[in-house]
Amino acid sequence: MTDTRWLDETEMAAWRAFLTASHLLERRIEEQLKSAAGLTHPQYEILARLSEAPGRQMRMTELARGVVVSKSALTYQITQLEKAGLVERATCPSDDRGVLAVLTEAGTRCLERIAPGHVAVVRDYLIDRLSRAELASLTSAMTKSEQALRS
């Protein structure tokens, strides 16, 4: 058994700052999206990713990986978005077993309506508070963590 490498004061300060800021930002984003459109942050992320995809559609498995949720959690979210008329499912033309999530016209209009408020929250509480160098450092650090978590 190895000895635990406890966090030192600097490491603990970084960890707590990350946790607190990420939780507070997530809460603020959720509040904005709920009041603007009755959507959750994961639902918004699904709409945004579909809007950026070729043909405004993605395979469900690829979409789940992109929004970092399980397949069952994505299925639930897609069902909710389908009920709202924002997304529909289609069979993948190249693979009958594959399912595509497709952004509808109503989904596009919803996203166009609520995206400015979402971006304002992200800018107000994160992006505009950091210098370009800090943004580059944040991107580098979070990319390293993401790569470790995905491997």
Q: Which fold has domain 14-150?
A: Arc Repressor Mutant, subunit A (1.10.10)
Task: Give CA separation, 105 vs 4, 18, 93, 102, 116, in Å.
Answer: 53, 37, 21, 10, 18
Q: Would you state the pLDDT for residue 20?
A: 98
- Tens-binned pLDDT, residue by residue, of the chain (151 aa): 679 999 999 999 999 999 999 999 999 999 999 999 999 999 999 999 999 999 999 999 999 999 988 889 999 999 999 999 999 999 988 887 889 999 999 999 999 999 999 999 999 999 999 999 999 999 999 999 999 998 8
The two counts, helices (H) then strands (E), for the chain are: 6, 3
Chain center to CA of 116: 16
Angle at the Cα of 123 (from 117 to 125), degrees rounded to 5?
Answer: 105
The pTM (predicted TM-score) of the whole model is 0.90
Task: List the chain domain ranges.
Answer: 14-150
Q: Would you state the pLDDT for residue 2?
A: 77
